[in-house]
A and B are shown apart, each in its own frame.
Chain A
Amino acid sequence: MSTTVPAAAGEVTDDLAVIHHGRPRLSDRARHERRLGWLLAGPAFIVMVAVTGYPILNAVWLSLFDYRLTNPDGREFVGLGNYGMILSDGLFWRQFGVTSAITVVTVAVEFVIGFALAMVMHRALVLRRSLRTAILVPYGIVTVVSAYAWQYAFTPAYGFVNPMLNLDDYNWFGSTVPSVAVICLSEIWKTTPFLSLLLLAGLAQIPEDYLEAAKVDGATAWQRFRRVIMPNMKAAIMVALLFRTLDAFRIFDNVFVMTQGAQGTETLSFLAYRQTISRVQIGLGSAVSVILAVLVVLIAVMFVKGFKTNLSQQRG
């Protein structure tokens, strides 16, 4: 996770210098670091391109066809027809809405809780290791297993939630909002530890001197948090939020286990699954997947631009 090292004060100006002068004049150290970086990451990079490049290009190619797996002879080139159909279908936009809502809610709640947990883990004086282990337990559980556990908990007939809340036989999975709420809850419980771990890495990088200096200058705890901790964790926060947002946007397993997409809880990944796997409409399914991938890239670009952080310029 070397990319999560937070920005040190002067480096933003370095960035600007690079942009303004066109070709950067690299110092020996920078050149050496760059070479070492390529040597270390190169093989993995090549393998990744080989393994992911072909399927991606193949999916883009297939998305231009009307192609049902059970009727290979009927395969017909339709150009961008699949994309046009998907983007003009109400179902796509509805599921885009559901996916976005789940993403925004879960990431926002996870960020707040995750930050608090990271602070606790960072500041804890006693039982530090036990505390970290305990916080990380949910993340170690397979999503399908945790999804079943949450589903059982909220099932009216044998779950413990309804008796606990005196809800009698209220059916949590009987309509959209409560279903999505349980899905979000399960998602938050499961992945907050991941977020807090990334944030903890960021917290650990802030030199104590900064906080001491701020204290000496009379900064309150809130001011230290707002003015010292947050700015110095910008890169870590961005990475944490970016990873979680991309994951949340591709949510599938919790929905698949808990509602099978019923009650309007289908997400975009579910749409791709249904077209490709259930309906074996390879062309249409590929087009949904490509749209999903483009949206994921857009989210990543928005984050990087929005945070104005250039991760490639981070140095340890």
Chain B
Amino acid sequence: MAEYFEDPRKARWRNVGLAAAFLVAALFLYFLPQNYQTPIRRAIRGTVLTPFIWVQGEVVSQTARAEAMRRLRAERDSLLAVASAQASLGEENRQLRELLGLRDRVVGSFVPAELVRVGTPGGESSFLLDVGREDGVAVGSPVIASGGLLGVVWEVGATSSQAIDWTHPDFRASAMTADGQASGIVESRRGRYREEDRLALVGAPFHTDVAPGTRVVTSGRGGLYPRGILLGTVAGVEEAEPGWRKTYLVRPAIRPEGVTHVLVGTPGDASLAPLWTGGELDPLGPDEP
């Protein structure tokens, strides 16, 4: 009714002003630093979008249950076979550690989590997890699926978190070949389509030749990922800078598309001091005054 009495030019300028205000607000959010964007994103995910995220969790649970049962049985049988064949290794290892004066190996702790995939354009290469700070998850926690490293936690809320998988342009992992001959940084190589995505081992020494099929694992350098998590196998040389370094293409150990359940690493004692038994052998002990 009011529009019949309102000056059309005034109404038009009011609309332009309103639209400009929304645009400025949107640009403000776009240019906001990452650490200020995170709480806003988390608040929206935890309120308006909760029902949609909850539904995916339920769908994933239902469809994965039967499949998981079959897979778990097969994995348990395989593990039994491996464990019985290597029964004496644990005891040998304990005796050798005793001889060297080493304590038991530090074992990282993990929490199981359900993975919720994000299908929006901006959410590609990322996923949501139903575990958060209350479960001991922190920014940088590794996300491991059966078969190898899937990604790393990027944002953490109280009961949920968001992570990137290895196809994300920002993914990096300190890595080495399983035999320790070459080491470098593993990063993603995105293809035109998701199926073409690969990893690359960058910065390997030029003088070493890594044969195709060699396994690449995390090296544990930098402390972000535990040592020894499988990343993939070498597919071939991507690039060689004469006399300097080589880059190898790596066939990933796992594809992110089919993963529904993962293990998320929880930060434990980051100090190496507990590895040594005696104080006189503790190189990281406090300096004498």
Do A and B associate with each other? no
